[in-house]
């Protein structure tokens, strides 16, 4: 896929359109190559091309995002497109040290309000379950099979308000897709759960997060299940008794 392609580039690959069977903007290479070039800016502006046009550049991308945002929050096309955008976001940055390109950063900032709007709509129909599914799918796309620690945090993180939840997704999308990134993701989830539950983000939070993650998985899971019943002081006391 490419945002644009000159005639010389298409001819250089001897790619040919097949407009009787395919829409404009798709050029097929030789039969045995089983490949095609998709020129995004040449695609017709129809619902079927919406997701691809979001991957375009400039005005083509802007119009596609505008069309996506105009759809109702319960529209299947909008829901599916946002699911794919979660996957796109999770792959925009492959390394923490890598700078995000300006256009990719602009896309993240543009679609972030759509994430939040979709999450706010979910408040009307099982917000926590919707956010849990979104987080689970997002983590699976980013890291593959979830380990027991990630699974333990799915439910408590799903109770976090939509705005903060969107920030968590954006944070996870910046992590490396390796063991270190997986560990950082778990710590990010733990930090947000404790920050919301204790209503703090001060100097004591990192130590509490470390103590929480030092628990055996069974104890950590049980403590997270008990969070709604624990006061802030009880939670601090429980975590303070854990060896560092």
142-189 residue pLDDT tens: 888 899 999 999 999 988 887 788 888 888 888 888 899 999 999 999
H helices, E strands: number in the chain: 12, 3
Contacts of 103 (CB under 8 A, 6+ apart): 57
211-236 residue pLDDT tens: 999 999 999 999 999 988 888 888 88
Dihedral sign, Cα of residue 110, residue 141, residue 196, residue 198: negative
Host H or E run for residue 36: strand 36-38
Quote the pTM value.
0.53
Question: Which residue reads 């395919």 in tokens?
Answer: 22
User: What distances in angstroms separate CA 22 from CA 16, 107, 123, one per listed residue?
Assistant: 11, 28, 40
DSSP state of 178: S
């Amino acid at each position: 896929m490419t945002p644009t392609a000159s005639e010389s580039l298409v001819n250089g690959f001897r790619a040919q359109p097949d407009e009787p069977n395919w829409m404009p903007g798709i050029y097929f290479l030789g039969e045995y190559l089983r490949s095609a070039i998709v020129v995004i800016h040449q695609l017709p502006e129809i619902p079927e091309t919406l997701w691809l046009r979001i991957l375009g550049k400039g005005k083509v991308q802007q119009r596609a995002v505008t069309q996506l945002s105009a759809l109702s929050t319960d529209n299947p096309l909008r829901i599916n497109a946002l699911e794919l955008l979660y996957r796109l976001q999770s792959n925009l940055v492959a390394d923490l040290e890598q700078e995000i390109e300006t256009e990719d950063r602009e896309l993240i900032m543009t679609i972030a309000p759509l994430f939040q709007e979709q999450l706010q709509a979910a408040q009307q129909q099982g917000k926590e379950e919707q956010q849990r599914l979104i987080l689970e799918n997002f983590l699976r796309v980013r890291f593959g099979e979830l380990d027991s620690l990630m699974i333990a945090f799915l439910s408590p993180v799903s109770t976090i308000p939509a705005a903060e939840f969107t920030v968590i997704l954006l944070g996870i999308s910046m992590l490396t897709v390796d063991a270190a990134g997986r560990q950082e993701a778990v710590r990010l989830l733990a930090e947000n759960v404790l920050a919301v539950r204790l209503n703090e983000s001060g100097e004591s939070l990192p130590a509490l997060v470390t103590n929480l993650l030092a628990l055996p998985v069974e104890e950590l899971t049980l403590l997270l299940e008990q969070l709604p019943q624990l006061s802030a002081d009880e939670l601090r006391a429980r975590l303070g008794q854990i060896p560092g």
